[in-house]
Structure 1
């Protein structure tokens, strides 16, 4: 069974993957997060992004074709259960009724009285 095609990368991600090594060499010692921040600054400052936007458009066209072929061949069979990304719901604590507690206290005190 073939796997569902992955979504295509955006123009920015295509550019960042090609520019990452250059950013690393120009700024040695930067952390991964700092490299991404520097890349974002450089991307915003770029005047002409058409090359990367064209590559992203081609990748999206290919993805669309691949996805149509995937779905035409029956898709992935049973859909996977979607992972919930919300907050986890805490379980309610079990509250014992006071009546039961009092009943056991009464029984214990009766047993003590009888044994005297």
Structure 2
């Protein structure tokens, strides 16, 4: 998310709800919130009975960026959904147009087990 936000020229220090002056990722933290549940669901499904985080689980967490999720009217990877989300956010703050600003549908998440 940080790379996407920086790639579009947004200032990560300027958050909406996160406003800590020592946090250079305030905006990233705000924009990440709808996607945070993706990790929560994966961890619950895969790690609830584990005592520690094995290498293959770390790979699984990384691979979540490639998982498919519904965003708006299409299904795309989590990475693409994050990019579209940031673009929609920019369109909303610059033009007050929320037509492209959606939240990911976490219940639609598809990953390889």
TM-score (norm. length: structure 1): 0.32
Q: Flag the structure with higher strand content.
A: 2
Q: Structure 1 or 2: larger helix share?
A: 1
Point out the structure with max Rg over C-alpha. Answer: 1
